[in-house]
A and B are shown apart, each in its own frame.
Chain A
Amino acid sequence: MKLRLKVWRQKSANDKGYFEDHTLEANEHMSFLEMMDVMNEELIQQKKEPVAFEHDCREGICGACSLVINGQPHGPMQGTTTCQLHMRHFNDGDTIHIEPYRANAFPVIKDLVVDRSSFDRIIQAGGYISVSTGQAEDGNAIPINRNDSSLAFDAATCIGCAACVAACPNASAMLFTSAKVSHLALLPQGKVEASRRALKMVNQMDEEGFGRCSNITACEAECPKGISIDNIARMNREYLSASLVGEEK
């Protein structure tokens, strides 16, 4: 299949970016990133700089790959990361726009690579259970209802790719933050700190410059892991109860 690519190039955070045109011969068995590898190999053959993009596991679990493909984070397929997207979902002659995530909290590093360390800082603000190594009791000491455990797992499958932010017109990080708050609040071990955790994480989220949530739900639609917006409601409850009792800021 013959493709026309319009790829975002940007030297560094302070440079102005632009779309660069490429034409490419691909085949339908390739993954999207393998198609990009082929493009880069061609650029290198011409002694040009390849396009920088982030990736690692290439099986949809590490959260490194990103990209906005034809306007959609991770491209057109639901529940699929860019690295799992295959070219059989495109047609011969297609034009494909490839851009980085765009959000104030994610400055561009180069081309399609952005800095998502703000997500780390949200977790550092409180996205953990305060238990040190060696303090644990037997794993079966507290039975956990299978349903709760399963819901906690669903929230915990977030890969931190930040597609939710890229999808949101307000660049809000509510889905990411609430997934962590929910994962931990749903488990008896994490319940103790739940409200305090929500408060601290939400404050950090605001500090990083993420936007407000106005219930557009694009985050849920674009999330490659199907994280539910129910988590946002759960977080709001924890946040509210923390604000009510006026716990530390």
Chain B
Amino acid sequence: MSLNSNIPPGPMSDKWTDYKSKMPLVSPDNKRRLEVIVVGTGLAGASAAASLGEMGYNVKCFTFHDSPRRAHSIAAQGGINAAKNYKNDGDSVYRLFYDTVKGGDYRSREANVHRLAEVSNDIIDQCVAQGVPFAREYSGMLDNRSFGGVQVERTFYARGQTGQQLLIGAYQALSRQISLGTVTMYNRHEMLELVVVDGKARGIIARNLTTGKLERFAAHCVVLGTGGYGNVFYLSTNAMNCNVTAGWRVVKKGAMMANPCYTQIHPTCIPQSGEYQSKLTLMSESLRNDGRVWVPAKLEDAKAIQEGRKMGKDIPEEDRDYYLERRYPAFGNLVPRDVASRAAKVECDKGHGVVATGLGVYLDFESAFERYGKSKAHSMNLHNPSTEKIRELGVAEIEEKYGNLFEMYEKITGENPYKTPMKIYPAVHYTMGGLWVDYNLETNIPGLFALGECNFSDHGANRLGASALMQGLADGYFVVPYTIGPFLSKEIRTPKFSTDLPEFAQAENAVKERLQNFLDNNGNQSVESFHRRLGKIMWEHCGMARNAEGLKKAIGLIRELREEFHKDVFVPGTMDEFNPELEKAARVADFFELGELMCVDALNRKESCGGHFREESRTEEGEAKRDDENFAYAAAWEWPDVKNDPVLHKEHLKFEAIELKTRSYK
């Protein structure tokens, strides 16, 4: 099978405009006759379903959540990027494009990224019109802040709850279409199979999670916005129910998974506290704007802290190692996530960690309190304010900016971060890999589209902060409404599909059999216990640092554990009822296969790039070393049947607008 990325011709900056003016349209009358299934109501799915509904298509929208508003996008904290240049700091579409390609370590498709940068501004306008209460300055104008990996302020935010506010905007737009009847919403419905008729995606089998019944749904095409697969690691910052099942089911039907090994490990998460832990919590990257990362320079100080004999504040300034500022003077605490995470690992591996497990570093706001306090005092015309007064004013300013994050930190750890520095450690956060899609966001199965985090398209080997929200909404509001046109314009004579077709019956039976096997198994171990064990293997061998030996070992371990899972997992209850254990079993089964493919992909990619760090491929200073000669491609894996080996297809990446360079933040 050959991969055609369908990139339109012409200069980079004209491609999207030309495409839009030349693409085939579907007339309003025909739109009414065409049916579209959208799976997922996160930023990508909800914005797509709402926009397609507004355009006049008949949309059926699905989520396994009890309400569209609960999608994992709700948890995004820091912000969303756009090239508005409201700050007059030299930002532009080109710069956002450039930063994203560079941030992604030159492993993304230029044309897609350029389009993303182009539509970024429309997103902000759209969201403001919907009533998203972005942060504002006293003038009433929109405020911005900066995020890791860039030198301009282009991030729009709504306190530390940007994802929530954007998702509510999309949810409300979706709700409006539901009330107008253009979208039919199916809550608590989980897609468990794709239905392919004559080579095209024509429907899904979903399980009604309340009644447990399997239901068939047909349409002219299927759009997935089903999110990322970070939970393959068990512990991650993703919501507990995030899973890969929709994406993996379509791989089983022939779709390709691209770059599955590209995982983002986020540098600022709350360190793990115990074995029973169910998830990790992110502290937004925006905190690195004002917080300084450090560890004790002396090993004996670190040891004393680990053993509880000393506190961070006992360490004098000269004995602190602000290692990011030291190693990367140009970007300092604002280096991209992959760089910051690895640096934390290096310090902790050397023994400088500051929590009992040794796996944690400080994120310290003391100098920000002082800086903000002084500036506030100045604006209040306070002369010679006391140190305490300055700190008090500074704390208030920081509280205004990050109050909810500080509060969250205190709730989880029981420590007050206004008094003692935060402790953080990297954790799995985002997956850049995903379903392979072309410029139209269409997978290699015609009529199957993938948007948002579940596709691989825009972030290369590393995603910059505040760019996932941008991509989800770009795909849903401004890209797929156009790029679905070329496919659907050829379907205007295709009548509605009946779910009585044999393809639907077959797909339904396959699901039934899969689920029944779990229930009949009568093993002895819980789904959760297997998921934890899988996660440990992944974290150890396919986490922040990877090597050939470890990856090979992991593949063996995963296969063994998968076999044990299918033999010994215990799933209580029946199929025809609300049964969360059964839901989890089906998801974990898919994680097992995906996990193996991630290791296969990581093993194949012998270079280091972005979030993928191969220990064999580094510079003398220990930085990641890319190999453009051999690996400037997206690895798209075909793996319909686990009994055979996965087959690699390469999409070679051409860099026309941006020169391939070593990424440096020094």
A96 at the interface (CB under 8 A from B): no
Measured between beta carbons, the chain B residues less than 8 angstroms from A49 are 572-573
Stretch of A97-105, A116-124, A207-215, A236-244 lying at the B interface: A116-124
Instruction: Tell me the bound Cα distance from A64 to B69 in angstroms.
Output: 10
Beta-carbon nearest neighbor of B528 in chain A = A41
**Is there an interface contact between A59 and B172, defined as CB atoms closer than 8 Å?**
no
Question: How far, in whole Å, are A76 and B3 apart by their CA atoms in the complex?
Answer: 57
Given the interface pairs A80-B411, A127-B175, A129-B131, the reply to whether A37 lies near B50 with Cβ below 8 Å is: no
For B210, give its contact among A47, A60, A86, A109 (CB under 8 Å): A109
What CA separation (Å) do A30 and B273 show in the bound complex? 9
Contact B578 A157 (CB under 8 A): no
User: Given A64-B66, A183-B133 in contact, is the A58-B278 Cβ separation under 8 Å?
Assistant: yes
Instruction: Identify which of B122-130, B303-311, B313-321, B391-399 touches chain A.
Output: B122-130
In the complex the two chains form, is A120's CB within 8 Å of B74's CB?
A: no
- Asked whether any CB of chain B lies closer than 8 Å to the CB of A70, the reply is no
Q: How large is the interface on B (under 10, 10 to 19, 20 to 34, 35 or more residues)?
A: 35 or more
Task: Give the contacts of A66-112 with B (CB-CB under 8 A).
Answer: 79-80, 84, 86, 88, 109-110
> Would B67 and A124 count as touching, CB distance under 8 A?
no
* Known contacts A56-B239, A144-B140, A183-B133: A61-B74 contact under CB 8 Å: yes
B122, A55: Cβ atoms closer than 8 Å: no
With known contacts A47-B570, A115-B66, A27–B131 Cβ distance under 8 A:
no
Q: Evaluate contact between A58 and B239: CB separation under 8 angstroms.
A: yes
**Number of A interface residues, CB 8 Å?**
76
Within 8 A of A (CB), among B272-299: 273-274, 276-279, 281
B581→A55 contact, CB < 8 A: no
Docked pose: A136 CA to B125 CA in angstroms: 6
Indicate whether B150 reaches chain A with its CB closer than 8 angstroms.
no
- Judge whether A187 and B133 touch: CB under 8 Å: yes
Q: Is A62 in contact with B75, judged by CB distance below 8 angstroms?
A: yes
In the complex, A139 has a CB within 8 A of chain B = yes
The 8 A CB mask of B64-76 against A (1 = contact, 0 = none) is 0111111010110
Which stretch from A1-9, A146-154, A164-172, A227-235 is at the chain B interface? A146-154
Q: Are A34 and B129 in contact (CB under 8 A)?
A: no
B residues in contact with A57, CB < 8 Å? 72, 74-75, 239-240
Could you tell me the distance in whole angstroms from the C-beta of A28 to the nearest C-beta in chain B?
A: 9
Of A60, A84, A113, A130, the contact of B578 (CB 8 Å cutoff): A113
Q: Cα distance A76–B217 when bound, in Å?
A: 44
Contacts of B140-166 to chain A: CB distance below 8 A: 140-142, 158-159, 161, 164-165
| A44 with B187: CB separation less than 8 A | no
Q: CB-CB contacts of B44-70 with A at 8 A, as 1s and 0s?
A: 000100110010000000000111111
B281–A59 CB distance below 8 A: yes
Q: Could you say which residues of chain B place their CB within 8 Å of the CB of A34? A: 276-278
Interface presence of B613 (CB below 8 A):
no
Q: Roughly how many angstroms separate A120 CA and B70 CA in the complex, as a whole number?
A: 11
Interchain nearest-CB distance for B40 vs A (Å): 14
Residues of chain A from 136 to 192 with CB closer than 8 A to chain B in the complex: 136-140, 143-146, 149-150, 152-153, 156-157, 159-160, 183-184, 187, 189-190
Q: Are A146 and B84 in contact (CB under 8 A)?
A: no
A183 and B128 alpha carbons, distance in the complex (Å)? 13
**Does B97 lie at the interface of the complex (its beta carbon under 8 Å from any beta carbon of A)?**
no
Contact B70 A64 (CB under 8 A): yes
- Are A149 and B136 in contact, with the CB atoms below 8 A? yes
Chain A residues whose CB sits within 8 angstroms of the CB of B165 once the complex forms: 153, 156
Interface string of A10-25 (1 = CB under 8 A from B): 0010000000000000
Check A56–B131 contact: CB distance below 8 A: no
Residue contacts A-B, CB under 8 angstroms, 9 given? A41-B528, A56-B70, A88-B414, A119-B67, A124-B178, A131-B126, A133-B47, A146-B137, A152-B131
State the 8 A-B residue pairs at the shortest beta-carbon distance, nearest first: A143-B140, A128-B172, A136-B129, A153-B133, A136-B125, A139-B128, A133-B51, A124-B179
Other than A37-B528, A58-B239, A131-B173, give 13 A-B pairs with Cβ distance below 8 A.
Answer: A58-B279, A61-B161, A62-B74, A62-B239, A110-B578, A120-B67, A124-B176, A124-B178, A132-B54, A135-B129, A144-B140, A156-B165, A183-B133
